[in-house]
Amino acid sequence: MGSVSLPQRRAVLTGGLVATAAMMTGCSTKTESTAAPKAAAVVAATPSSSADAPPQTPRAVFDRLLEGNERWVAETLQRPNQNVDRRKSVAAEQKPYGVIVSCIDSRVPPELVFDTGVGDLFVIRTGGQVVAPVVTGSVEYGPLTAGSPLIVVLGHQSCGAVKASYKALKEGKPLGGNLQSIVEALRPAYEAVSKEKHADPVDAMIRVHTKLTSAALRSNASLAPLVKKRELAVVSAYYSLDTGRVEVLDGRPSAA
């Protein structure tokens, strides 16, 4: 992951933390169109002062990311921090301002979706953005060692991992190999969705799972103290393959 500084305010929490990395299995291939998120559900971003000045608070990071997503949607990308000078400047030390937990789906590249560059984000990608202990360790790495004040759990439209898990759970037919571990991780979302009728139960399951994951991270023993002090926010969001827009589901940080 590269070397990082240890902010004083993290000193108590960082003892014994081991940086981990996680790669898990499968996501999808075929796109199934669903309704694009309503405009009212998307929070307008406040323009940032400069791409060179990293945001320091949960809300400032939140606004920076949504502003980048608006550029992605409008095809007005700035591609900040994507040059040789930036590469060299972060070679010795990194301090990304955000952590993104997203799916491995090739159509959802967080650095592009939020128009960011080298050294801006810690990105953890697993099938269906499933979080297991080793993944949680990777998520904790940003806030606890680099002081990253925002975590975004990013679900997305037409997630193949969720679709396959929904089918496997509904039919009672386990998937092969380690894919079944993804199915089991998604079971709570499936059970929640199964209690009600949904026009698109798979899409509903994607959204519920994303919210459950962010809630679990918010209450994590290492992260909860930072959330309580408002030094860290955990946001759940949904990415539309059709529009490119990120819809905020819950956990948006306050302006204070």
Please report, in range form, the residues annotated as the binding site for Zn(2+). 103, 105, 156, 159
By the 8 A CB rule, do 151 and 233 touch? yes
Strands 233-239 and 246-250: antiparallel
Find, among 126, 182, 179, the residue nearest to 154 by Cα: 126
Distance CA 242, CA 36 (A): 7
Residue 159 and residue 70 in contact, taking contact as beta carbons nearer than 8 Å: no
- The per-residue b/e assignment along 65-90, b for 16 or more CB within 10 angstroms, e otherwise, is bbbbbbbbbeeeeeebbeeeebeeeb
Give the separation between CA 84 and CA 55, rounded to whole angstroms. Answer: 22
Query: Residues within the annotated binding site?
Result: 103, 105, 156, 159
Q: In what order do the strands lie in the sheet with 98-103?
A: 121-126, 98-103, 150-156, 233-239, 246-250
The pair of structure tokens assigned to 149 is 């004040």
The encoded tokens of residue 122 equal: 């810690």
Q: Tokens representing 239? A: 């990415």
H/E element, 215? helix 201-218
